[in-house]
Amino acid sequence: MLLDLDRLPGLLLAALPETVLTVWAMLLLLDAAWHHREPRAQRRAAALALVGIALAAAAAAWLWAAHASVAGLATSLAVDGFRFAVDLIVLLSAALSVLLSVDYLEREAILVPEYYVLILFAAVGMMLLAAGEDLFVMFLGLELMSISVYVLSGIDRRSRVGGEAALKYFLLGAFASAFLLYGIALVYGATGSTKLGIIASQIASLRLAGHPLLLAGLALLLVGFAFKVAAVPFHMWTPDVYDGAPTPVSGFMSTAVKAAAFAALLRVLLSGFIGLHGVWEQVVWWLAAVTMVVGNLVALAQRSLKRMLAYSSIAHAGYLLTAVVAGSTAGAAAFLFYLLFYTLMTVGAFAILALKGRGGERDVLVDDLAGLAESHPWLALGLTVCMLSLLGFPGTAGFIGKWYILVAATGGGYSVLAAILVLTSVVSAGYYLPVVMAMYMKPSAHEQSHAGVAVPRLAGATLAVMVAALLVFGFWPNRAMDAARAGSHAFLPTGVPTIAAPVPVAN
């Protein structure tokens, strides 16, 4: 299905998932305002939010299944498998966050139906960020996402720590946005365009590879994106914000926000600046290496489970950067595959933490999980699978994801970076395995240690599906790998056939 983005019907069809979710979010906002004080307004808003997410996911899946593409040069929105794959991952994270927030918000007495509206608007921003073929479209998506998440991180207005987290996130997020905007301005000054396809063409035809204005603009773009993906040394906001925000919001930020920002970074580098691969690969190489090392080493020193997960997410940003640095379709496919299952295992870990703690879960230490396997064996099993998958233990989807990244890195000639990934993954056993050991090998401090842990039916069913997916795809990953490869074909050079295309026979 070919879409002409210069005509309104084609543009509306290309933006169908974002349009559906935006209109639904606006209607949900009106409904939440109208029924704000009704006893079941919160659950009503959650149910309606899930319907909107399902409609947007159906639109994205339909466009992907119909092989939608752009007639000519994509000038504003990308219409390709990579965009639709990221859309589905973002919507999956949003849906999981909604499902796991329903009972959590009631338990913590955070009675704000607009919470779900903010999740929808954040998802719209993330989808625009992943779909942008124009740097300004990306910037608009980034700001819509950021503003929504700023509010979500401080949604509990009674929490001083939550307010502090929201303020820190806002200040540093605005700082990162300024870097991005200034970088866009410099790139426009060097190439005369903000459209990625035209930027790539201008770099090649005008031989701008050494242009100082273009290099400065690219450097500022990399700094801005490094803030958003929490790469070292631009990670300072991550532990405090994740620690202060409500736990379901922390899970949403560590997965969906990271997915959208990484997708935009990958598209910018592979679509707009692939002609400068020799320049930016060195920067991204060092960002990946330092992020993996610092994230894992600092996580070793954490006793708070929530802060440990925050530093773990920084380390995983380094793993995803390893997939980006290759600058290849193999790297893009590994990125998509890993991102999908990183979403499941991270949201699952934060969800179980939310069930264990109270008041933001900031005081839950690793040792507080001692004896959990005796009183709540299924909950302990779920957290064990999440921890082992984050570690990259064989038999889990996390292992397949890391293996896929290693294949992309070594295939691109980045053996040293692949070795750093392996070594830092070994280091990560020093903070993932103690969680498992505490649950199974240490007795509870007293009989009532886990008396307050209750697993609501909705949260329990959601967790069971996530854990089962991590195990099933750990043994049978082919379907997910095929989908990831199909999404990566968006970055194939013109004229290169896909793997599924027939090989021409010589006469």
276-289: per-residue pLDDT in tens? 888 888 899 999 99
Q: CA–CA distance from 27 to each of 13, 20, 21, 391, 444 (Å)?
A: 20, 11, 10, 42, 48
pLDDT digits 0-9 by tens, 98-146: 998 888 888 888 888 888 999 999 999 999 998 888 899 999 999 999 9
Instruction: Mean pLDDT check: name the lowest of 198-202, 210-214, 371-375, 441-445.
Output: 441-445
Which tokens go with 315? Answer: 């380390």
Retrieve residue 407's tokens: 């294949």
Look at residues 142, 105, 102 and name the one whose alpha carbon lies nearest to residue 121: 142
Q: What percent of the chain has pLDDT over 70?
A: 93
Collect all residues with Cβ–Cβ distance below 8 Å to 505 and sequence separation of at least 6.
none
pLDDT of residue 451: 66
Q: Where are the alpha helices (DSSP H) in 66-134?
A: 81-107, 114-131
**Is the pLDDT confidence value at 43 over 70?**
yes
- Name which of 493, 492, 487 is nearest 65 in CA terms: 487
Query: How buried is residue 354: exposed, middle or buried, by Cβ count under 10 Å (0-12/13-18/19+)?
Result: buried
CA distance 211 to 224: 20
Over residues 348-356, mean pLDDT: 86
Q: Which residue has the higher pLDDT, 506 or 167?
A: 167
Stretch 490-506: mean pLDDT: 47
Compute the mean pLDDT over every residue in the chain, rounded to the nearest whole number. Answer: 85
pLDDT band at 439 (very low <50, low <70, confident <90, very high): confident
pLDDT computed for residue 495 by the predictor: 40
For residue 236, give both structure tokens.
């300072």
Is it the case that residue 503 has pLDDT exceeding 50? Answer: no
Whether the predicted pLDDT of 449 surpasses 70:
no
Q: Which ranges constitute the DSSP H helices of 37-80?
A: 41-65
Alpha-carbon dihedral of residues 48, 54, 59, 60, nearest 10 degrees?
130
**How far apart are the C-alpha atoms of 494 and 488, rounded to whole Å?**
14
**CB-facing half-sphere around the CA of 184: CA atoms within 13 A:** 20
**Tokens read off for 427:** 């280091």
187-193 mean pLDDT: 88
* 97 HSE (CA, 13 A, CB side): 32
Of 335, 351, 287, nearest to 314 (Cα)? Answer: 287
Beta strands in 152-245 (DSSP E): none
pLDDT score of 44 more than 80: yes
What's the pLDDT tens digit per position in 225-280? 998 888 888 888 888 888 888 888 888 988 999 889 999 998 898 888 888 888 88
Note if the pTM is more than 0.85: yes
Mean pLDDT of 180-187: 92
| Residue 401 scores a pLDDT above 60 | yes
Q: How far apart are CA 132 and CA 141, in angstroms?
A: 8
pLDDT band at 507 (very low <50, low <70, confident <90, very high): very low
> Cβ distance 56 to 20 under 8 Å?
yes
